[in-house]
Amino acid sequence: MASLKRDKGLDNTLKVMKQGYLYTTNQRNRLNTTVFETKALGGKPFVAVTGKEGAEMFYNNDIVQREGMLPKRIVNTLFGKGAIHTIDGKKHIDRKALFMSLMTEGNLNYVRELTRTLWRANTQRMESMDEVNIYRESIVLLTKVGTRWAGVQAPPEEIERIATDMDIMIDSFKGLGGVFKGYKESKNARRRVEDWLEEQIIETRKGNIHPPEGTALYEFAHWEDYLGNPMDSRNCAIDLMNTFRPLIAINRFVSFGLLAMHENPITREKIKSEPDYAYKFSQEVRRYYPFVPFLPGKAKVDIDFQGVTIPAGHGLALDVYGTMHDETLWDDPNEFRPERFEDWDGSPFDLIPQGGGDYWTNHRCAGEWITVIIMEETMKYFAEKVTYDVPEQDLTVDLNSIPGYIKSGFIIKNVHEVVDRK
């Protein structure tokens, strides 16, 4: 077996944060290798892997562990202590079944209807605004979609605050390197949302509030694990939040989607004229633009991979962005081309913006289907139901920054409803 090539340095965390989504690609090119070792997060060794073969290895539960590998700052701000993302084995499979039980045909149809209805209802508000920052506007609207879908009580006057807290938590990825001045703010935002949801869990169990059966609030409040024990109310609140927080993070994809339509005008016409094009367009947005950069794991055993041995106990980093821009998997990966999904085989190991592998046994996001539905309906809305202008602004997407954003957030003006008055 060949020896692992290394990106030298006692701790390359700052280098990772400076190069962002391109760090692993840059090092692979520099070292002329497909797999290499680096040190990060306090000098811990990580082997960076990419591509379909890397994802297949990473999601093999027999040889790779996920539990305990998320950085504490991300656990404390984004996912929550004790969240499903932080456990493995039977406990993970048991709790994942609860998440997956929400993905019924009725619930998926309902989130489609909610998205369609709430965007249409939001038209008049946007028409009255001098300019609309799509990044900000969509996080508020998606907070309405997510909370209503989950069955939680979110008073209209609280939506803005809840949306802001969610955005602060989601933005905590940037705290991976060095001192993060917003860390305390992120923890406080999480505490406020956890307090709010835990109160609803407790009141549901007492019978004081009555969410409909089949909603996330109802199912989580009444769930028992494989030993017959209910979930601790705080932990229940944390995972209840994890049923709809990913829906709110879709605001990144929404702003990216409008940027893609702006830069590729033909796609707007195809969304309006071709029945399945909104689906292909949404998938390409998820593949093309930066979202999750890497995912961490740990080798349970010595792993022989692509001619090298990854020692047991070594950290693993799956290059998510690099996999979705791998030219051996995708033709012209740096071109935005929705048509590539006409013949896509649905592999769980190449399109992995929200994780890969099996939904039931791996850490793949249970809400991925909902993400696609929300994106389809949102893109149809902006292509078909409204017109708007795109003023001069900074539309840069900086791949050296984690998480990825459009610098301006994507601003539109002069929004008008499309009405056929003939």
Three-class secondary structure assignment of 115-171: HHHHHHHCHHHHHCCCCEEHHHHHHHHHHHHHHHHHCCCCCHHHHHHHHHHHHHHHH
**Terminal Cα-to-Cα distance of the chain (whole angstroms):** 73
Q: Give 3-state DSSP helix, strand, coil % of the chain, rounded to 5.
A: 50, 10, 35
65: β partners: 298
CB 371 within 8 A of CB 287: no
DSSP 8-state class, residue 209: S
CA distance 295 to 56: 13
What's CA 350's distance to the chain center, in Å? Answer: 16
Binding-site members for heme are 365
Binding-site members are 365
CA distance 22 to 17: 10
CB 243 within 8 A of CB 111: no
Name residue, tokens 């969240």: 83
Which tokens hold the place of 225? 């694990």
Question: Nearest to residue 405, comparing CAs of 146, 190, 138, 130?
Answer: 138
CA distance 281 to 303: 37
The DSSP annotation for 241-265 comes to: HHHHHHHHTTHHHHHHHHHHHHH-T
Exposure letters 175-202 (e unless 16+ CB within 10 A, then b): bbbeebeeeebbbebbeebbebbbebbb
CA distance 55 to 323: 8
